């Protein structure tokens, strides 16, 4: 990894960066970083000056030797210069290590349209879509419905793996698969996305590219022997598909959709959402990922969000769209819209998709660039992604929203071609 982060920007926009940190309630010693930056540049200047001299003298040595003349005095001098360069470069490498580590801990700067706020209480509800269903009975939570229908098996999930692992069975497994296929078909056939099936294990560089590392290692599952991580979202492998590449302008925008299982350690979530499918160590998700020019990224964020919303609309699920405030914004995101689906049993809206514009934050880390026109200097692309949707939570929402008094569940119309039945009941 080279110098992917924009020190120049930070240097010349100190106030902006400091305000962004404050709005995020993020503690960071920017002044220390700027001191290191200063030191770095002076070391570089000194070292390069010496290198220039070494190159010149070495050539001179070559000339003398070719002419059969004595060059030992010059050689002695250059040897000294070489030693000094080595010292300086070592010092520089250590400094850059510190600098780089610090830079990787700086979160993205929120977009100007992001509401400033403390926590999720301050998120801005942009719109509410669809009607929550009315029930003539007390709606049950999805885990009760699922267990009664024998399509969700929580106990055996715990037995074979542990807490927060669940087994889908029979129509439950089929419904999950139907949802994946429905979502992929919608996005590939109607929204113009190209389907990707990526690796589920990735290396450290990849995890760093999208911002999971170095700060959030405890949230990930690690295969220690190979030093590979299980992907927490398809965003990670798919965004990094083009790392260290320079794309042609004509290639943009790139739209990718990908199904993967997602693995999250859920460290720090102990005791939260312990029942049901809402918070699992492993869940399925269909992800949407975009690579765009800086000019188009916010327009593309709106479109991407609409593409995710369309899944909920076609499934006939009520939801709302929320703009996350600065205090609730993820580390890498410049702006995020959450889609929250209506869950009747809990009587509230729960996050089912998160659609973000990362601007050039991930592109810098992963070194993803494009050439605006032939011969022009490369620029960083903007990356975006969003769930379209989290499948486990969608399944939960369907069970709850489409439940009937007898415990059966009506299959949403659009899924029937995929699953072959209209209703899931004990007799099905």
Partner RNA sequence: GGAGAGGUGGCCGAGUCCGGUUGAAGGCGCUCGACUCGAAAUCGAGUAAGGGGUGCUGAGCCCCUUCGUGGGUUCGAAUCCCACCCUCUCCGCCA
The span from the CA of 214 to the CA of 206, in Å, is 11
- Interaction of residue 55 with RNA, rule CB under 7 A: yes
Q: How far is the CB of 378 from RNA (least distance, A)?
A: 5
Q: How wide is the angle at C-alpha 318 spanned by C-alphas 404 and 310, nearest 5°?
A: 120
- Interaction of residue 48 with RNA, rule CB under 7 A: yes
Instruction: Tell me which of 24, 54, 164, 264 is the catalytic residue.
Output: 264
Using the structure block, give the residue that is written with the tokens 């010292």.
87
Instruction: Tell me which of 140, 164, 369, 393 is the catalytic residue.
Output: 393
Stretch touching RNA by CB under 7 A, among 68-76, 123-131, 186-194, 343-351: 68-76
Q: How far is the CB of 369 from RNA (least distance, A)?
A: 7
- Dihedral, CA of residue 19, residue 20, residue 22 and residue 28, to nearest 10: -110
Q: How far is the CB of 359 from RNA (least distance, A)?
A: 15
Nearer to RNA, 7 or 167 (CB): 7
Q: How far is the CB of 176 from RNA (least distance, A)?
A: 22
Q: Specify burial of residue 308 (Cβ count, 10 A radius: 0-12, 13-18, 19+).
A: buried
> Using the rule CB under 7 A, which residue among 93, 116, 126, 249 binds RNA?
93
Q: How far is the CB of 55 from RNA (least distance, A)?
A: 4
8-state DSSP, 287: E
Stretch touching RNA by CB under 7 A, among 76-84, 143-151, 165-173, 258-266: 76-84
* Helix (H) or strand (E) segment spanning residue 208: helix 204-210
Stretch touching RNA by CB under 7 A, among 67-75, 139-147, 205-213, 415-423: 67-75
- Interaction of residue 52 with RNA, rule CB under 7 A: yes
> Using the rule CB under 7 A, which residue among 127, 189, 272, 377 binds RNA?
377
* Helix (H) or strand (E) segment spanning residue 58: helix 30-66
Closest to 152 measured CA to CA, from 179, 177, 170 = 170
- Interaction of residue 191 with RNA, rule CB under 7 A: no
Q: Which residues of 65-104 are buried (b: 16+ CB within 10 A; e: fewer)?
A: eeeeeebeeeeeebeeeeeebeebeeebeebbeebbebbb
8-state DSSP, 251: G
* Helix (H) or strand (E) segment spanning residue 125: strand 124-129
Contact yes or no for 240/366 (Cβ under 8 A): yes
Q: How far is the CB of 249 from RNA (least distance, A)?
A: 12
- Interaction of residue 62 with RNA, rule CB under 7 A: yes
**Cβ neighbours of residue 49 under 8 Å, at least 6 residues apart?**
none
User: 237-256 mask for RNA (x: CB under 7 A)?
Assistant: ---------x----------
Active site residue 393: yes
Instruction: Tell me which of 351, 379, 416, 425 is the catalytic residue.
Output: 351
Active site residue 354: yes
Determine if the peptide bond prior to 389 is cis (ω within 30°): yes
- Interaction of residue 65 with RNA, rule CB under 7 A: yes
- Interaction of residue 78 with RNA, rule CB under 7 A: yes
| Residues binding RNA: number (CB under 7 A) | 36
> Using the rule CB under 7 A, which residue among 54, 174, 285, 290 binds RNA?
54
Distances (CA, A) of 219 to 18, 211, 361: 27, 12, 20
Active site residue 314: no
Nearer to RNA, 254 or 398 (CB): 254
The span from the CA of 143 to the CA of 166, in Å, is 11
Stretch touching RNA by CB under 7 A, among 20-28, 72-80, 320-328, 346-354: 72-80
> Using the rule CB under 7 A, which residue among 69, 270, 375, 406 binds RNA?
375
SS (H, E, C) 140-163: CCHHHHHHHCCCEEHHHHHHHCCC
The span from the CA of 224 to the CA of 236, in Å, is 19
> Using the rule CB under 7 A, which residue among 59, 101, 113, 274 binds RNA?
59
Q: How far is the CB of 52 from RNA (least distance, A)?
A: 4
Strand pairing report for 282-292 and 245-248: unpaired
Active site residue 340: no
- Interaction of residue 134 with RNA, rule CB under 7 A: no
The span from the CA of 423 to the CA of 416, in Å, is 9
- Interaction of residue 261 with RNA, rule CB under 7 A: no
Q: Can you give the binding site for RNA, defined by CB under 7 A?
A: 2-3, 7-8, 41, 44-45, 47-49, 51-52, 54-59, 61-62, 65, 71, 74-75, 78-79, 82, 86, 93, 246, 369, 371, 374-375, 377-378
Residues designated catalytic: 264, 279, 351, 354, 393
């Amino acid at each position: 990894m080279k110098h992917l982060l924009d020190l120049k920007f930070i240097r010349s926009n100190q106030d902006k960066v400091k305000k962004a940190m404050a709005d995020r309630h993020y503690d960071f010693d920017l002044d220390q970083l700027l001191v290191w930056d200063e030191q770095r540049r002076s070391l570089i200047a000194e070292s390069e000056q010496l290198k220039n001299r070494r190159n010149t003298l070495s050539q001179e040595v070559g000339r003398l030797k070719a002419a059969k003349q004595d060059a030992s005095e010059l050689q002695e001098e250059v040897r000294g210069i070489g030693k000094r360069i080595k010292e300086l470069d070592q010092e520089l490498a250590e400094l850059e290590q510190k600098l780089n580590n610090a830079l990787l801990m700086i979160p993205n700067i929120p977009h100007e349209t992001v509401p400033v706020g403390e926590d999720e209480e301050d998120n801005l509800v942009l719109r509410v879509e669809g009607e929550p269903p009315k029930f003539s009975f007390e709606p049950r939570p999805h885990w009760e419905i699922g267990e009664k229908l024998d399509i969700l098996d929580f106990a055996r999930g715990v037995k074979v793996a542990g807490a927060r692992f669940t087994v889908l069975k029979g129509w439950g497994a089929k419904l999950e698969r139907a949802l994946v296929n429905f979502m992929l078909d919608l996005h590939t056939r109607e929204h113009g996305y190209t389907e990707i099936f990526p690796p589920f294990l990735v290396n450290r560089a990849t995890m760093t590219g999208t911002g999971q590392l170095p700060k959030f290692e405890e949230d990930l599952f690690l295969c220690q022997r190979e030093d590979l991580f299980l992907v927490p979202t398809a965003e990670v492998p798919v965004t990094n598909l083009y790392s260290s590449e320079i794309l042609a302008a004509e290639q943009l925008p790139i739209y990718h959709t990908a199904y993967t299982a997602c693995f999250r350690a859920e460290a720090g979530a102990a005791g939260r959402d312990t029942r049901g499918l809402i918070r699992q160590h492993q869940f399925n998700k269909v992800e949407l990922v975009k690579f765009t020019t800086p000019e188009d990224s916010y327009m593309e964020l709106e479109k991407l969000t609409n593409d995710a919303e369309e899944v909920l609309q076609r499934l006939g699920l009520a939801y709302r769209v929320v703009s996350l405030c600065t205090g609730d914004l993820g580390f890498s995101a410049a702006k995020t819209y959450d889609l929250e689906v209506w869950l009747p049993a809990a009587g509230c809206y729960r996050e089912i998709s998160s659609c973000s514009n990362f601007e050039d934050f991930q592109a810098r880390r992963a070194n993803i660039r494009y050439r605006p026109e032939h011969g022009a200097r490369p620029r960083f692309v903007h990356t975006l992604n969003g769930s379209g949707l989290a499948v486990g939570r969608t399944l939960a929402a369907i069970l709850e929203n489409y439940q009937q008094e007898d415990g059966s569940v009506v299959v949403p119309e659009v899924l029937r071609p995929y699953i072959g039945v209209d209703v899931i009941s004990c007799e099905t």
